[in-house]
């Protein structure tokens, strides 16, 4: 099929401007026969192709057609960061997708304006109830993304504005990530009442929990009252990220292990709702039975966890699930257990942030002091001294 | 938690239109992941409007479009135009797939910044991203 094209492409890399890497644009001497007349100057003439810096040279959009550009430019050079922040805050509060997206990037990257941004969004929100954060966890392939897409459908039918934070792992080797959760949610693209954002774990469970909580804060300020938090689905870090949620839904499938699997510690101890997804498959009854026999408990509440059957692919049981989630939040709110959970998670997030900060500090200052063999006791001693100083400073700060 | 202020490049890999051949798109998505970028993949058969919505919500710096059906002259410039209409023309659009050489110039004139045909070494795409990433506004300033 592409046989004809090959000969052309074989040399395309070095001969065609813009046909391989940006550098090639300058290499444009050996042009192919079918070169267009203006090719001789292509390297210089094509806006943005020659060098990364003249990208907008010939672009009418980049001039002063946008009155706000001056502000954005000033912010970048550090002259008027407040103007840019003002704009970001008002954009988020007005529910503008671009502003919401950029605010989430800012909190995710831990940029310097994060604290001020969050504080101002909270102030603007005043005493309005914080958004409900619903966590979805469960093994890979359990159908979390498909289920969330079905829940979005139900929520939209009810007229609720709803957002999704979908977390996928970053590679510990390259730092890169392939974020594919929204692959199963694309039918909601273009609906202004739905905002979906993919987040990579970027290394640590601790930082991620804080970032997810902060991203949820941004979405709440933008008027999304319900936020579905989809997690990676495996391991102990699950328990960490799910501590951000008000209510946790554990998604399970029939045929994925015997009764003992459901009794394992960790994920099976954090759920408010346990779902038998793919309930149309053989083994659904067995799974449901073993869940009911397992005497599951939910953390921090007297309410027993609920066990529901759904078929995410055709929506069976999803309206009932959505109602059950809302009822659960309402009951936890009424009993005061929800605010207790929120207090605990804030405290947990603070501890994690402090831990992250301290770890970064230690890494920067290298307590081991570079080379040679340092006895562990000696390092412990230095650390103890450091902690003494720190706690004295904190005592003074309290007074 | 990562170092404060570091910018991670986010890239949307999208397949507009009715073409269901996604090997190239999946290959590039994975290769860019391995190169350390955060890659969001839309899956096949997306409308240009959906692609632009997703690009904005995900706050990506790049949109890579893959098409093997021959509809690139209609769909690639449409994505560029829709981004412009959303005041998101700082998002850089590049393309790949079966694109005849003579179409490349026209696509570039329409704002598609680079086109990578079959057989392009992945390093060429990475070089392109590294050289152009500073153009895409990194600060969360909003127009």
CB contact under 8 A, B57 and A197: yes
CB contact under 8 A, A176 and B58: no
Determine what percent of chain A is predicted with pLDDT higher than 90. Answer: 35
Give the per-residue pLDDT at A363: 75
Contacts of B10 (CB under 8 A, 6+ apart): A105, B37, B38, B39, B40, B58, B59, B60, B61, B62
Q: What is the mean pLDDT of chain A?
A: 76
Residue A68, judged by CB atoms within 10 A of its CB (0-12, 13-18, 19+), counts as middle
Contacts of A58 (CB under 8 A, 6+ apart): A47, A48
Give the per-residue pLDDT at A396: 87
CA distances to A51, B33, B110 from B120, in Å: 21, 17, 22
Residue whose C-alpha is closest to residue B135's, from B42, B31, B9: B9
CB contact under 8 A, B40 and A109: no
Residue to test with chain A: of B82, B142, B143, most A Cβ within 10 A: B142
Per residue in A130-147, pLDDT (tens digit) is 899 999 988 888 899 999
| Bridging pattern class, strands B10-14 and B62-67 | parallel
CB contact under 8 A, A13 and B42: no
Q: Calculate mean pLDDT across residues A302-328.
A: 95
B3 touches A at CB < 8 Å: yes
CB contact under 8 A, A101 and B57: yes
CB contact under 8 A, B124 and A20: yes
- Of the candidates B2, B4, B35, the beta carbon closest to that of A202 is on B2
Question: A113 to chain B: which residues are within 8 Å by CB?
Answer: 140
Q: Which residues pair with A88 in a beta bridge?
A: none
Q: Calculate mean pLDDT across residues A301-312.
A: 93
Q: Calculate mean pLDDT across residues A215-223.
A: 95
Query: Distance between CA A99 and CA A105 in Å, rounded?
Result: 10
Distance between the two ends of chain A, CA-based, in angstroms? Answer: 78
Q: How far does the CA of residue B51 sit from the closest CA of chain A (Å)?
A: 8
Determine what percent of chain B is predicted with pLDDT higher than 70. Answer: 90
Question: A61 to chain B: which residues are within 8 Å by CB?
Answer: 84, 89
Q: What is the mean pLDDT of chain B?
A: 88
Q: Calculate mean pLDDT across residues A27-42.
A: 37
Determine what percent of chain A is predicted with pLDDT higher than 70. Answer: 71
Question: A177 to chain B: which residues are within 8 Å by CB?
Answer: 33, 38-39
Confirm if B86 and B52 have CB atoms less than 8 A apart: yes
Highest mean pLDDT among A27-31, A263-267, B38-42: B38-42
Residue to test with chain B: of A13, A93, A109, most B Cβ within 10 A: A109
Give B83's pLDDT tier (boundaries 50, 70, 90).
Answer: very high
CB contact under 8 A, A72 and B139: yes
Give the per-residue pLDDT at A59: 39
CB contact under 8 A, A110 and B140: no
Q: Is the pLDDT of residue B81 over 50?
A: yes
Q: Calculate mean pLDDT across residues A277-297.
A: 89
CA distances to A365, A367, A395 from A382, in Å: 12, 7, 20
Query: Distance between CA B57 and CA A195 in Å, rounded?
Result: 7
Per residue in A333-342, pLDDT (tens digit) is 999 999 999 9
Question: B100 to chain A: which residues are within 8 Å by CB?
Answer: 5
- Tell me the HSE value of A255 on the side-chain side, using a 13 A CA sphere: 9
CB contact under 8 A, B29 and A18: no
Give the per-residue pLDDT at B136: 65
Query: Distance between CA B113 and CA A96 in Å, rounded?
Result: 27
User: Scanning every residue of chain A, which has its alpha carbon at the shortest distance from the alpha carbon of B30?
Assistant: A178
ipTM over 0.85: yes
Per residue in A59-68, pLDDT (tens digit) is 333 333 333 4
Q: Calculate mean pLDDT across residues A92-110.
A: 93
- Of the candidates B86, B109, B135, the beta carbon closest to that of A55 is on B135
Give the per-residue pLDDT at A258: 57
For residue A354, is it left (φ>0), alpha (ψ between -120 and 50) or beta? alpha
Give A26's pLDDT tier (boundaries 50, 70, 90).
Answer: very low
Q: How far does the CA of residue A190 sit from the closest CA of chain B (Å)?
A: 6
Confirm if A249 and A135 have CB atoms less than 8 A apart: yes
User: Scanning every residue of chain B, which has its alpha carbon at the shortest distance from the alpha carbon of A76?
Assistant: B139
CB contact under 8 A, B47 and A189: yes
- Tell me the HSE value of B114 on the side-chain side, using a 13 A CA sphere: 32
Give the per-residue pLDDT at A237: 59
Q: How far does the CA of residue A25 sit from the closest CA of chain B (Å)?
A: 10
Q: Is the pLDDT of residue A37 over 60?
A: no
What's the angle, vertex CA A145, arms to CA A213 and CA A141, rounded to 5? Answer: 115
């Amino acid at each position: 099929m592409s046989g004809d094209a090959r000969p052309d492409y074989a040399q395309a890399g070095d001969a065609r401007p813009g046909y391989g890497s940006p550098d090639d644009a300058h290499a444009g001497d050996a042009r192919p026969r079918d070169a267009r007349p203006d090719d001789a100057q292509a390297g210089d003439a094509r806006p943005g192709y020659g060098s990364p810096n003249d990208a907008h040279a010939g672009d009418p959009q980049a001039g002063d057609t946008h009155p706000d550009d001056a502000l954005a430019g000033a912010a970048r050079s550090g002259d008027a960061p407040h103007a840019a922040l003002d704009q970001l805050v008002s954009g988020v509060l007005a529910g503008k997708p671009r502003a919401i997206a950029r605010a989430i990037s800012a909190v995710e990257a831990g940029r310097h304006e994060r604290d001020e941004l969050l504080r101002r969004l909270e102030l603007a929100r005043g005493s309005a109830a914080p958004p409900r954060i619903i966590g979805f966890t469960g093994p890979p392939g359990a159908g979390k993304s498909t289920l969330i897409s079905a829940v979005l459908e139900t929520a939209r039918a009810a007229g609720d504005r709803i957002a999704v934070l979908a977390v996928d792992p970053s590679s510990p080797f390259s730092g890169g990530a392939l974020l594919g959760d929204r692959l199963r949610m694309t039918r909601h693209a273009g609906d202004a009442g739905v905002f979906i954002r993919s987040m990579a774990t970027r290394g640590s469970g601790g930082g991620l929990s804080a970032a997810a909580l902060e991203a949820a804060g941004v979405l709440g300020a933008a008027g999304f009252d319900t936020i579905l938090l989809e997690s990676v689905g495996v391991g102990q870090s699950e328990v960490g990220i799910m501590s951000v949620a008000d209510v946790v839904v554990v998604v399970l499938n029939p045929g994925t292990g015997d009764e003992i699997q459901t009794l394992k510690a960790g994920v099976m101890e954090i759920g408010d709702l346990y779902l038998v997804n793919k309930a149309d498959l053989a083994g659904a009854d067995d799974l449901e039975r073993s869940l009911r026999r397992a005497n599951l408990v939910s953390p921090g509440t007297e309410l027993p966890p609920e066990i529901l059957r759904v078929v995410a692919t055709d929506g069976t049981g999803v309206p009932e699930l959505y109602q059950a989630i809302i009822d659960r939040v309402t009951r936890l709110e009424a009993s005061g257990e929800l605010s207790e959970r929120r207090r605990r998670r804030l405290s947990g997030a603070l501890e994690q942030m402090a831990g992250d900060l301290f770890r970064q500090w230690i890494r920067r200052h290298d307590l081991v002091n570079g080379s040679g063999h340092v006895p562990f006791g000696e390092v412990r001693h230095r650390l103890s001294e450091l902690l003494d100083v720190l706690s004295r400073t904190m005592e003074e700060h309290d007074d | 938690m990562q170092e404060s202020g570091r910018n991670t490049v986010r890239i949307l890999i999208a397949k507009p239109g009715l073409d269901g051949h996604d090997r190239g798109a999946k290959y590039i998505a994975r290769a860019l992941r391995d190169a350390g970028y955060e890659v969001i993949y839309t899956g096949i058969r997306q409308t240009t409007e959906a692609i632009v919505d997703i690009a904005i919500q995900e706050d990506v710096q790049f949109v890579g479009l893959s098409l093997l059906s021959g509809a690139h002259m209609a769909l690639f410039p449409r994505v560029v135009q829709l981004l412009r209409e959303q005041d998101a023309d700082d998002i850089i659009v590049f393309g790949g797939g079966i694109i005849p050489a003579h179409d490349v110039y026209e696509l570039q004139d329409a704002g598609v910044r680079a086109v990578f045909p079959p057989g392009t070494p992945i390093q060429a795409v990475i070089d392109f991203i590294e050289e152009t990433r500073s153009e895409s506004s990194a600060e969360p300033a909003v127009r």
